[in-house]
């Protein structure tokens, strides 16, 4: 009897481990698609780890709720008092975070649905890239003209961003920033969005004056 119980537990652990691998793989695939096809600033250490950790965490919570009703009540009470101090930088990033959580939640119940959902939200990025490259007029028709007239600079600086920006750099054009830690050093990925090319060029000159900086990418949204 004890052996049967041990075998059942062993099989449950194997199944849980497979679910963790699936959730982590789908999260990593989402990171690859959106980081490499749409927004290069997502290609950083923090978002890579978040893409793997969030689905696994959500999966584990779902598994705990399914097996223990009292624990589920306790988790609901505990999670209800959680407050996130880090502001979400855009609706797009918020959608990605919810997508990663949903991968974990659905993966704890139905792995086929999790695979379909994960692949769908991941492949949105390369599909959009394809249409933006080969059918730009269609994208311009769907998105407002003002949006396409914007210009974007993705910048990486050593240390804190506030310590690097001079008074000549207009911080109102800063749309997102994230600090990452690599080799015991703090680096900041910042995204500046400008309404026209003239402003972008003038601000680019000021950004080039920052020491220990690297301009990762300059995107024209027109």
**Residue 33 burial by CB count (10 A; 0-12/13-18/19+): exposed, middle or buried?**
buried
Is the separation of the CB atoms in 40 and 154 below 8 Å?
Answer: yes
pLDDT digits (tens, 9 = 90+) for 169-181: 877 778 877 777 7
The answer to which of 102-106, 146-150, 156-160 has the lowest mean pLDDT is 146-150
| pLDDT over 60 (residue 84) | no
pLDDT digits (tens, 9 = 90+) for 180-221: 777 777 888 888 888 777 777 888 888 888 777 777 666 665
The helix or strand, by DSSP H or E, that contains position 85, with its residue range, turns out to be: none
- The per-residue pLDDT of the chain, averaged, comes to 79
The pLDDT assigned to 1 comes to: 57
Is the separation of the CB atoms in 27 and 55 below 8 Å?
Answer: yes
Structural tokens at position 116: 């379909």
The pLDDT assigned to 70 comes to: 63
| pLDDT over 90 (residue 32) | yes
* Higher pLDDT, residue 51 or 156: 51
CA distance from start to end of the chain? 69
The predicted model gives 139-165 an average pLDDT of 72
pLDDT digits (tens, 9 = 90+) for 124-146: 999 998 988 888 788 777 776 55
Is the separation of the CB atoms in 141 and 132 below 8 Å?
Answer: no
Q: Which has the closest alpha carbon to 117: 135, 99, 132?
A: 99
Q: Write down all domains in the chain, each with its CATH number in brackets.
A: 2-136 (no CATH), 145-220 (3.30.70)
**Dist CA 27 CA 58 (whole Å):** 12
């Amino acid at each position: 009897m004890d052996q049967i119980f041990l075998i059942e537990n062993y099989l449950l652990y194997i199944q849980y481990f497979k679910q963790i691998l699936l959730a982590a793989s789908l999260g990593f695939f989402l990171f690859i698609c959106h980081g490499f096809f749409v927004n290069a600033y997502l290609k950083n250490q923090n978002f890579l780890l978040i893409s793997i950790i969030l689905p696994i965490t959500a999966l584990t919570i779902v598994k705990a709720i399914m097996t223990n009703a009292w624990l589920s009540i306790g988790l609901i009470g505990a999670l209800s008092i959680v407050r996130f101090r880090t502001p979400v930088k855009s609706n797009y990033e918020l959608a990605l975070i919810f997508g990663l959580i949903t991968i974990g939640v659905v993966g704890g119940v139905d792995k086929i649905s999790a695979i379909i959902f994960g692949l769908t939200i991941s492949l949105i990025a390369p599909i959009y890239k394809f249409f933006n490259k080969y059918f730009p007029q269609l994208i311009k028709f769907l998105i407002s003209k003002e949006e396409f007239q914007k210009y974007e600079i993705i910048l990486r600086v050593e240390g804190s961003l506030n310590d690097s920006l001079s008074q000549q750099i207009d911080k109102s054009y800063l749309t997102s920033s994230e600090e990452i830690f690599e080799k015991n050093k703090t680096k900041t990925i910042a995204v500046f969005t400008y309404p026209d090319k003239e402003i972008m060029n003038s601000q680019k000159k000021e950004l080039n004056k920052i020491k220990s900086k690297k301009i990762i990418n300059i995107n024209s949204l027109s």
